[in-house]
Structure 1
């Protein structure tokens, strides 16, 4: 812990850069906590899930699983399909995480869509120790989520709220991050490919297989138009 205190520049930089995620995660985490408490689950499940699972979309879906008493095998299969996208885009961070040493496992565990969005859009300060900067950025984002979900669960356990529509808040944050990605890349083709793949999967594939199907279609299209995507950068 004392060693971490020597990297205050990395911490301050990560804190500044993570402010947009903080604003989103506190609200989204709060929404998750409220939703969890609305199903009469104990408040402490919110921080436990946020510490050991830490997967926003999956945590929202997990509430429905628990309420419907879905079996463990079904939950495991659904978890793979919901989070498999991180296996694909996480590959692009292998080079960044190559020299992160003891932090590498946590950085992999703590990788979320929003953290990925920051890591791939920010202009890194070469004066910073990247290993500690990545660690602080990832840890801060998870901290925001834990605080938001815990507060939501505690307050929701004592005050009744109308939770209709809260699950859409996560989608709203994805949209904002997508816009930020476009501002950096200034290349519309990857987004057109993603939208096309999603529409095709929505029309032709059953709902329970739509996510993985849209990912596979997107990858195939990206490989097909790889030269155009790279030349337009």
Structure 2
């Protein structure tokens, strides 16, 4: 259906954006399902009602922080600790949000939900996917964001509703699905990089992350490694004459 005054070509590109995004998002949805399922199981196992997991998923939409929130709710009211802990756990959002500022422009009403529902997975896909000419990139960004959001909330709902039935299922090791998917995305970006400078920065980022993991531990390595890479990138851009475009 084409609304009055709407460009037919725009409608075609809108449909192409969804049909192009959906096959990409299906593997992500499967990985989301198992992680979200685990969160729903975890919430109900701590004595919370079935609706707690999907409500937290829908309002917070930050997987790591949702797990932490369950512990904070059990510990009692402590807003200062909650703020500091949230900054440490989700501080990475500042870093990968900056590169998307120039992409998420002129989106109309789609801008707010696309930004609000941006997560690690949405950033990885939107930043790395090469779109054909017949796909509207703004609609593609939007479809990736809302599909990730729906996948996550739905999976936590299933975990909350059927937590007691699924508690007996051995799901050990299934949590590696998402990290494995990120490794594949990273390798694909590395192999398809335009020049050796981008490849060098990718490898350097992985090395820095490993060093920070050994130095500061897994609770802080994400924030510290991203901070180091941000400083290194700024120095290379400002004084080294490095341009990645």
* TM-score interval, smaller chain: 0.7 to 0.9
1:204 deviates by 4.3
TM-score by length of 2: 0.79
Paired position in structure 2 for 1:218: 229
Higher alpha-carbon deviation: 99-108 or 180-189? 180-189
CA distance in 2, matches of 1:10, 1:224: 37
1:201 deviates by 3.0
Q: 1:114 to 1:208 in 2, by over 3 A?
A: closer
CA contact (8 A) 1:117 1:181 kept: no
Q: How many residues align?
A: 230
Higher alpha-carbon deviation: 76-85 or 207-216? 207-216
Q: Aligned Cα RMSD in Å?
A: 2.9
CA contact (8 A) 2:34 2:174 kept: no
Q: Which has the higher contact order (CA 8 A, sep 6+)?
A: 1
Higher alpha-carbon deviation: 91-100 or 31-40? 31-40
Q: 1:104 to 1:172 in 2, by over 3 A?
A: same
SS in 2 for 1:18: helix
* Match for residue 129 of structure 1 among 136, 140, 144: 136
> Which 5+ residue runs of structure 2 have no aligned equivalent?
4-10
**Alignment of 1:201 onto 2:243:** no
Paired position in structure 2 for 1:153: 160
* Match for residue 66 of structure 1 among 63, 73, 82: 73
**Alignment of 1:175 onto 2:186:** no
1:169 deviates by 5.1
CA distance in 1, matches of 2:27, 2:215: 36
> Which 5+ residue runs of structure 1 have no aligned equivalent?
none
CA distance in 2, matches of 1:65, 1:155: 24
1:175 deviates by 2.8
